Amino acid sequence: MHITILAYRNCWAMNVMTIKDFVHIASILEKKIFRKQSIHCVIASVDGSLVTTASGAGITPDCALSTVDKTDLVIIPAIEGSGIDLPILDENSLISWIRRQYDKGIPILASSTGVLLPGKAGLLDQRIIATHWAFIARFRQLFPECQFTSHSSFIESGGLFTTGSLTGGIDAILYHLGQYRGDKFANLCAAHGLLSSPEQITPILPGRRNHTDVDIAQIQDWIEEHYQEVLTIEGVARQFGLSDTGLKRRLKKATALSFTQYLQAVRIEKAKKLLLSTTMSVREIAYAVGYENQSFFIRIFKKTTESTPGNYRNELLRKSAGV
């Protein structure tokens, strides 16, 4: 798996280096578990020369864009807010390269305000796009054909991944790592590279966000924050001013899951992360994700993952010991 991070003037160095370091952690884990290292990440600029970032710090790229023959994921870091309305150095070259990658079917991940470059490349039209909350109004002016939201994780639409935060970019990378090396590996990477305490990790279902129903997207956000509570479709529908049947129909259309299936999937995702990143007992984790009956939780977990919670935890933690 080859990942290319674009470095360009006035991008945020923290964004670039956090992603670079996180992918490096994933690469170390891969070698430890699979006995091979096939996850690679490069920082590339238009000509390969030093890039001055938003804070004035310099980043020395690994290569020029012209030398990237094949990549599996392109990551565009956020740009400083004041740079949104300024010309970007080598803008035409950047936009052309991004467009070519997208046309070849390469996924594009734009972090927060980094959506500016895909927007200029004409990739945002008629989509729901996540970005930093403080710049939604400006982006709506620049790209009126789009719907912008400050969703804290990420949204995927037709191979374009956008985020409202830096951690949302990490979520998107975890999704791609999961596609490449499996769900267990992605969750182990999350456990080793935590940016916040495990108890605060928001469970997400990336494959269920590829739709344009704004109301359902807001309901998904809400469920992913309140999953541990006693939730009913009637209560959620009432809270969002929808009918029970309307919510059932629209949620199923948007995510291909019923309300109960969606809630259970969110809870199991949270449980996976807690199993790999805490020493909580299975009973404690069951309760933390909304199940009072431990046996029922174990049954649902095994049905979803084909493994018991204990085996799920022990298998990968044993292989990754010492990383």
In a structure prediction context, what are the per-residue pLDDT tens digits for the chain, which is 323 residues long?
999 999 999 999 999 999 999 999 999 999 988 888 999 999 999 999 999 999 999 999 999 999 998 999 999 999 999 999 999 989 999 999 999 999 999 999 999 999 999 999 999 988 889 999 999 999 999 999 888 988 777 888 889 999 998 888 998 998 899 889 987 788 788 877 754 455 455 556 766 877 778 899 889 989 988 999 999 999 999 999 999 999 999 999 999 999 999 999 999 988 988 887 788 999 999 999 999 999 999 999 999 989 999 998 887 667 665 55
Residue 164 has which token pair? 């409202």
Together in a domain, 182 and 215: no
Burial environment of residue 156 by CB neighbours within 10 A (0 to 12, 13 to 18, 19 or more) = buried
d(CA 184, CA 270): 13
Together in a domain, 291 and 168: no
Q: Of 192, 224, 244, which marks where a domain is finished?
A: 192
Together in a domain, 22 and 169: yes
Together in a domain, 70 and 15: yes
Residue 124 has which token pair? 């945002």
Together in a domain, 163 and 26: yes
Report how far apart the first and last C-alpha atoms of the chain are (Å, whole number).
20
pLDDT at 212: 76
Together in a domain, 48 and 163: yes
pTM score over 0.85: no
Q: Of 175, 192, 209, which marks where a domain is finished?
A: 192
Together in a domain, 54 and 175: yes
Total number of domains constituting the chain: 2
Together in a domain, 167 and 210: no
The domain in which residue 231 lies consists of: 201-319
Q: Of 192, 220, 250, which marks where a domain is finished?
A: 192
Per DSSP (E only), the strands in the chain are: 2-6, 40-45, 51-52, 58-59, 63-64, 73-76, 108-111, 128-130, 147-149, 154-157, 160-163
Residue 105 CA: distances (Å) to CA of 55, 67, 89, 117, 248: 33, 19, 26, 17, 33
Together in a domain, 161 and 244: no
